[in-house]
Amino acid sequence: MKEQLDRNNLPKHIAVIMDGNGRWAKQKGFTDRIFGHRNALKAVKEVIEGSGEIGVQYLTLYAFSTENWNRPKAEVDALMMLLVKTIKDELPTMHKNNVRLDTIGDIHNLPEYSQKELLSAIDDTKNNTGLTVILALSYSGKWDIVNATKKIAEQVKAGTLAIEDINESLFEISLDTKGIPNPDLMIRTGGDHRISNFMLWQLAYAELYIFENLFWPDFRREHLFEAIKDYQVRERRFGRTSEQVKMM
């Protein structure tokens, strides 16, 4: 599959909604959803390594949404612990593969120890020049948009920005994804056809690829290549006609 991919038409940025851990555990006969989260690490490794191998530049992983704070406390605590363990375990591999770590989201809401581990790993990998892996943590698209709006309003209030100068470019650099190109491809496992408050602004023209019968813990790099292969035969029209696109 990997050899069949057109290296000149790779998505620059892939965003992933890693969904279905709980159902995976249930399907295996386990009553505890956390078992599913624990078994998601292999899939995280695979998607990162697969992306690096073929030369994707940015990979955003939706790891914890604003709404996920409403889950049972035991599950939230387990997820926060797993986050730290994953970062610790993966740091050497990230270095080996020249991966730079970054984050988006309201990370001040994370427990102190998780924030510390995360920020230290980000600092530690900041000079790596390969794939950038962005962990979306305590993130939601609505939060991002409201946050950007506040930043812009502050500047207007301070008199450093005129309302007439508010435009899409300014809005983009006020979002938490500042400096990161918008995703070209969004992958979701677990069969649900929804955005679940992910990058609402940034996904405006992303191509969507849903795995209907695959839960996140079973995701392997072949699945990533399958999604990219499908992406490569699509016509991205950005509102134009097909004839216009072919002339470009």
C-alpha 125: how far from chain center = 18
Q: Are 203 and 14 in contact (CB under 8 A)?
A: no
Q: Which does 196 bind (CB under 5 to 8 A by kind): Mg ion, ligand IPE, none?
A: ligand IPE
Q: Are 18 and 40 in contact (CB under 8 A)?
A: yes
Q: Is 190 in the site for ligand IPE (CB under 6 A)?
A: yes
What is the spatial order of strands in the sheet that 207-210 belongs to?
100-104, 132-139, 58-65, 13-17, 185-188, 207-210
Alpha-carbon gap, residue 41 to 48, rounded angstroms: 11
The 3-state secondary structure of 140-157 reads CHHHHHHHHHHHHHHHHH
Q: Which does 35 bind (CB under 5 to 8 A by kind): Mg ion, ligand IPE, none?
A: none
Total residues contacting Mg ion by CB under 5 A comes to: 1
Q: Is 19 in the site for Mg ion (CB under 5 A)?
A: yes
DSSP state of 162: -
Q: Could you say which residues in the range 82-121 bind ligand IPE, by CB under 6 A? A: none
Total residues contacting ligand IPE by CB under 6 A comes to: 19
Q: Is 64 in the site for ligand IPE (CB under 6 A)?
A: yes
Q: Are 19 and 188 in contact (CB under 8 A)?
A: yes
Q: Of the listed 6, 8, 9, 19, which one is catalytic?
A: 19
Q: Could you say which residues in the range 68-87 bind ligand IPE, by CB under 6 A? A: 68, 79
Alpha-carbon gap, residue 62 to 32, rounded angstroms: 21
Q: Is 196 in the site for ligand IPE (CB under 6 A)?
A: yes
Q: Could you say which residues in the range 199-218 bind ligand IPE, by CB under 6 A? A: 216
Shortest distance, position 109 Cβ to ligand IPE, whole Å: 14
What residues have CB less than 8 Å from 219, skipping those under 6 apart? 18, 43, 46, 47, 189, 211
Residue 68 appears among annotated catalytic residues: yes
Q: Is 18 in the site for ligand IPE (CB under 6 A)?
A: yes
Residue 77 appears among annotated catalytic residues: no
Q: Is 184 in the site for Mg ion (CB under 5 A)?
A: no
Q: For residue 186, which amino acid is it?
A: M
Q: Of the listed 21, 39, 68, 182, which one is catalytic?
A: 68
Q: Closer to Mg ion at the Cβ: 19 or 102? A: 19
Lookup: tokens for 96: 């080996």
Q: For residue 125, which amino acid is it?
A: T
* Contact range with ligand IPE by CB under 6 A, out of 61-69, 114-122, 151-159, 176-184: 61-69
Q: Is 20 in the site for ligand IPE (CB under 6 A)?
A: yes
| Binding interface with ligand IPE (CB under 6 A) | 17-23, 33, 62-65, 68, 79, 190, 192, 194, 196, 216
| Binding interface with Mg ion (CB under 5 A) | 19
